[in-house]
Structure 1
Amino acid sequence: MSQGVSPAAARGLKYRALRALFRHFGRMRPAARLRLGRWLGALAYRCVRPRVKVARRNLELCFPQMSEARREALLREHFHALAQSVVDRGVLWYAPPEKVREMVALSGYEHLQRQLDAGQSCILLAPHFIGLDAAASRLTMQCPSGATMYAPQSDPAVDAIVREGRTRFNDVHLVSRRDGVRSLLRHIRAARPIYYLPDMDLGRKGAVFVPFFGVPAATMPSTAQIARTWQLPVLPVLSHWDAATGRYHIEVLPPLEDFPGEQDAEAATARLNALLEQWVLRMPAQYYWVHRRFKTRPAGQPKLY
C-alpha cells in the first residue's frame, strides 16, 4: 500500500520524468534491459569517477592479497551489476506483479512464515547487496505487513519515486533513520517484520569499531541491541543477481542461532561482520562498494579516502 506522493512532488517535472523513465524500463523486454544495464554500467565506470575511486579503494582495503588486475575486473563487474539494479527497479516498481515474480525468485520464506504464524516480529537482516530492492519488493509481495528504516533522499523528486516504489505492495511502513531505532517499537509490538540494513557507516555516534575484512569499521550495534531488548529472532536475507539470466534469487535464511546470546553488543556485531564477509565472498562484485564503508576512523587513525 503506497504511502503516497506529496502534491508538490507529483506536480514536479523531474518527478514525472523519472516516473516515465522507470515505467519505460519496466516495459522493456528482458534482453533489452540487460543490454541497457551493460551499457550504463560501462558508462558509469568511465564517468562517475568519485564513486569509482571509492569502490576501488574499498576493494584495495578488503582484498589486499588480490591482484590489481582482478580487483579492477571486480570493479567493472560491480558497476555493471549496480547499473542493472537501477534499471530493474522499473520492473520492481511499475511492472505487473507477475513480471516481478518472473524476475525475482524467493526461497526460504517458510522461515519468515513461522514467525508470522507465531504472531512474532523479527529482524530481516539485509546487507547491502545490489539486489536489496529486489529482495524488499519480493518480500513485500508475500508478507502482509512490514517496516523498514529509511534514509530520506535529498532530492524531493527522487525521494517521492523511491517511497512510491518501496511501498508498492501490501502494508509497508518506512521509518526515517532521523527518528532513531526506538521509532520501530510500535511496529515490533504490532508483530511486523523489520527489514533492517546493518552495514552502513553512519558516523561515530553510537557506533562500535569492529573488523570488516580486517579493517576497523564503524558499525551500529543496533541489530544485537534490538534483538536482545525485544527478544527478536534475526533472519538474514541474501540477494543474488545472475548476470547470465538477468534474474535475482532472494534467500531467507533460518534465524541465527543463539544471537546475541551471552555476547555483549560489540562482540555480537563483530560476529555479524564476520558472517557478512562470508556472504560477500560468495558474490564479491555485488556488494555495495560505492559506499564509503570506512569513512569514520578510530581516534588517531588516518583517513582512508
Structure 2
Amino acid sequence: MQKPHFRVALLHPRYWLTWALFGFWFLVAQLPYRWQMAIGRGIGSLMLRLASSRRRIAERNLALCFPELSDSERAQLLRQNFASNGIALMETGMAWFRSSRWLRKRFTIEGLEHLQAPAARGQGVVMMAMHFTTLEIGAAFMAMSHPVDGMYRPHKNPVYDYMQRKGRERHGEDSDVFQRKDVRGMMRALKNGRAVWYAPDQDYGIKQGVFAPLFGIPAATVTGTSRFARAGRAQVVPYTVTRLEDQGRYLVQVYPPIDEIPSGDELRDAELVNQFVEARMRENPSQYMWVHRRFKTRPEGEAPYYEPRKRRRKKRKK
C-alpha cells in the first residue's frame, strides 16, 4: 500500500475544525508525561459519567468475566478502566506526534528474540496483539523494535485518515500496511518472512469464526489466526504492552510462539488463542478495552447480554 500523501483537497474549509483539533492534540502531546497522565485520567472520569452506553457495556463485561469480585471491587475496576481509556487518548497523541527518540526512553522490551529467530530463518510471524488500552503506543514501540506490517481500516474523514496513517507509519520505515480485506497481501507478506500485526480478540461475528470459551462463555472467535499461520507457513507470536504508571514507563513483552497453532483444528486453535488472551486479561484487567461488546454474538437460542443499540433515524429527503 502506498505511503500517505498530502493533498490540497485536505485544506477545504469543511476540514478546518479537524485540523484545529489535531493542532490542539499535537500541543497537548508536548506536555510533560505526568501532566498528560493527569489529563487522561480526567478525561476517563468524564467518559465514565457521560458515555453511559459504553459504561453499561463495560459493567456487563466485568460482571460476566469476574463474578467472583464484589460489586465494590468491580466498581473500582471500572473506574480504573475508564481512567485507562482516557490515558489511551494521550498515548495516541504521544505515538503520533512525539519523536522516536523521546518514545524510546519510555519503554523496555523483553523477549524480542522470539520475533527475531523466525525472521532470521525467513519465516513469517503472525504478531498476535490484544485490545489493551496501550494498543496505539504499543504499536509504535514494536515498530521501533522490529519491522512489523499492520492491518488498516480507512477512516471516513480524509484528514483524520491521513493523520492516522502518518502517525502510525512514521516509526517504522521498513513496515507496510494492508487494507483489512487484503488477505492476499497479508499472505504474501507472511510467506516472504514478514511479521504481520493481527488482533483476534474482538467479536466479528460467526461467519468466519467459531464459538470458543472465554471466561467460560462461548465467544465468537475469528479463525484467522490459525488460517494465516497455516497458509503463510508462519509462527504465532503474541505480545502485550503494559503501562507501568508508577514508573512512567511501559513494558513490551514478546512471548514464545504458540507452537500448537495451527493444529489442523480451527476450534482447538481458537480455544488456544482465547486461553492465552484470557490469561493476559486476568493479569492486567484495568488496562483492557472492556468497552467493546465482546460477547455480542450469541449461540442460537441464547439471550443477548447487551442492550440493543439505538438506531439513528435517517433524515428524509425533501
- What is the 5 A alignment of 1:151-162? 151-162=153-164
Tell which has more relative contact order, 1 or 2 (C-alpha 8 A, sep 6+).
1
| Aligned match for 1:20, one of 12, 19, 23 | 23
Q: Identity, % of aligned pairs?
A: 33
Structure 1 length as normaliser, TM-score?
0.92
Letter in 2 for 1:220: V
Q: CA RMSD in A?
A: 1.9
Q: Partner residue of 1:142?
A: 145
Aligned residue for 2:290, secondary structure, equals coil
Does the 8 A contact of 1:38 with 1:83 survive in 2? yes
Separation in 2 of the partners of 1:2 and 1:19? 20
Aligned residue for 2:303, secondary structure, equals coil
Aligned residue for 2:105, secondary structure, equals helix
Q: Is 1:66–2:66 an aligned residue pair?
A: no
Separation in 2 of the partners of 1:226 and 1:187? 11
Separation in 2 of the partners of 1:34 and 1:97? 19
CA 157–290 in structure 1, closer or farther in 2 if over 3 Å, else same:
farther
Q: Deviations over 1:35-79 (max 9, x none)?
A: 111211111111111111111111111112211111111111011
Does the 8 A contact of 1:91 with 1:99 survive in 2? no
Aligned residue for 1:146, secondary structure, equals coil
Q: Partner residue of 1:239?
A: 241
Aligned residue for 2:176, secondary structure, equals strand
CA 212–5 in structure 1, closer or farther in 2 if over 3 Å, else same:
farther
Aligned residue for 1:203, secondary structure, equals coil
Separation in 1 of the partners of 2:19 and 2:95? 18
- What is the 5 A alignment of 1:168-247? 168-169=170-171, 170-177=173-180, 179-247=181-249
Structure 2 length as normaliser, TM-score?
0.89
Q: Partner residue of 1:288?
A: 289
Aligned residue for 1:250, secondary structure, equals strand
CA 21–294 in structure 1, closer or farther in 2 if over 3 Å, else same:
same
Q: Is 1:35–2:35 an aligned residue pair?
A: no
CA 99–278 in structure 1, closer or farther in 2 if over 3 Å, else same:
same
Does the 8 A contact of 1:25 with 1:88 survive in 2? no
Query: Runs of 5+ in structure 1 lacking a partner?
Result: none
Q: Partner residue of 2:310?
A: none
Q: Deviations over 1:129-183 (max 9, x none)?
A: 111112210111122x432222333444433332221111213322222x25333
Aligned residue for 1:140, secondary structure, equals helix
Q: Partner residue of 1:77?
A: 80
Q: Partner residue of 1:111?
A: 114
Q: Deviations over 1:170-227 (max 9, x none)?
A: 13322222x2533312222332211111111112311211111111111101101111
Separation in 2 of the partners of 1:70 and 1:151? 36
Separation in 2 of the partners of 1:257 and 1:203? 26
CA 15–56 in structure 1, closer or farther in 2 if over 3 Å, else same:
same
Separation in 1 of the partners of 2:299 and 2:156? 28
Separation in 1 of the partners of 2:215 and 2:83? 23
Instruction: Return the offset for 1:300.
Output: 1.3
CA 222–173 in structure 1, closer or farther in 2 if over 3 Å, else same:
same
Matched length? 302
Q: Partner residue of 1:91?
A: 94
CA 61–243 in structure 1, closer or farther in 2 if over 3 Å, else same:
same
Instruction: Return the offset for 1:6.
Output: 5.0
Does the 8 A contact of 1:212 with 1:273 survive in 2? yes
Separation in 2 of the partners of 1:247 and 1:70? 26
Letter in 1 for 2:123: Q
Does the 8 A contact of 1:237 with 1:250 survive in 2? yes
Rg larger in structure? 2
Aligned residue for 1:116, secondary structure, equals helix
